[in-house]
Amino acid sequence: MDICGLQFNLTWENRAANFAAVAQLLSQATPALAPGSLLVLPELFASGFSMDVSRAADSAAAETEHFLAALAQQYRVTVLGGVARQLPCGRGANEALAFDPSGTLLCRYRKIHSFSPVGENHAYQAGSALAHFSWNGFRVAPLICYDLRFPEVFRASPADLFCVIASWPDRRQNHWSTLLQARAIENQAFVLGLNRCGSDPHASYAGGSLLLDPQGHILAAAGDSPVLLRTAISPDTATAWRAAFPALRDRRRDLFPSAPPA
């Protein structure tokens, strides 16, 4: 079954423009999205990585959530995308939401690691729990951008497919590709790193979205332009590799009891 990542150039703090860009890129995709696919959109795709929560976050009408749900229904796919939500405390929540083909919410994950160098820890309230959902035999765990630098959060998940949605700047692009490959190899899991491209008032983004198999091999790679990255994958690939090379079974749970079962 296809996993599809839509890498595109976000328009700064302009929800309508970003919705229109997503709709246009998907309508022009050749071949069209196959029903049953998993479609992934970048971190805070409706606004860009803005620290102005009043502009980035949905109103009470939850426009971005409804847009994602409608996409899932329109194309009969599962959709995962980044959403900003206003919390009662005044700060925002930087989240990844997944919807099934009926438009039903499957999963809500809040970014655990806030990027303090730009003040995300002040603008957005960090999450404290992992989340995952099922898709065509996969256990899928969404993670967000800066989470990629913290291997323990991957190790604590039972997932065999990690989707890291991001606004990862080009000045640290080599870190992006290296860390994605490491997370795939050490967890014996598929990893999709879905980045944006283009620029905003604070940074430039080189795209470079990647899909890696459980041995760290690159299955699909994007350049620095808008693209729908897609590849067919099977959960049997992860199962077979974990059986053939059972490194996860050799973890020292007596020393690290929080590790999930292999």
Q: Give pLDDT tens digits for 241-260.
A: 999 999 999 988 888 776 66
- At 141, the pLDDT band (50, 70, 90 cuts) reads very high
Q: Give pLDDT tens digits for 3-41.
A: 999 999 999 999 999 999 999 999 999 999 999 999 999
- Model confidence at 102: pLDDT above 80: yes
- State the pLDDT at residue 68: 98
- At 150, the pLDDT band (50, 70, 90 cuts) reads very high
Strands of the 133-135 sheet, one edge to the other: 133-135, 138-144, 161-165, 190-194, 210-212, 218-221
- Model confidence at 233: pLDDT above 80: yes
Instruction: Look at 111-125, 227-241, 243-257 and tell me which has the smallest mean pLDDT.
Output: 243-257
Nearest-5° angle of CA 196, CA 230, CA 134?
A: 95
- State the pLDDT at residue 259: 63
- Model confidence at 218: pLDDT above 90: yes
State the chain's maximal CA–CA distance in angstroms: 53
- Model confidence at 261: pLDDT above 80: no
Q: Are strands 161-165 and 190-194 parallel, antiparallel or unpaired?
A: parallel
Joined together, the tokens standing for residue 219 give 């299955």
Given 13, 65, 120, 145, which residue is catalytic? 145
Q: Give pLDDT tens digits for 39-58.
A: 999 999 999 999 999 999 99
Cα(228)–Cα(212) distance, integer angstroms: 16
Given 4, 13, 43, 163, which residue is catalytic? 43
- Model confidence at 187: pLDDT above 70: yes
pTM (two decimals): 0.97
Given 4, 13, 111, 197, which residue is catalytic? 111
Asked if 43 is an active-site residue, the reply is yes
Which residue type occupies 247?
Answer: A
Q: Are strands 161-165 and 138-144 parallel, antiparallel or unpaired?
A: parallel
Q: What is the architecture, at CATH level 2, of domain 2-250?
A: 4-Layer Sandwich (3.60)
Cα(261)–Cα(55) distance, integer angstroms: 42
- Model confidence at 262: pLDDT above 60: no
Q: Average pLDDT, whole number, for the chain?
A: 96
Joined together, the tokens standing for residue 130 give 């992992």
Q: Give pLDDT tens digits for 151-180.
A: 999 999 999 999 999 999 999 999 999 999
- State the pLDDT at residue 178: 98
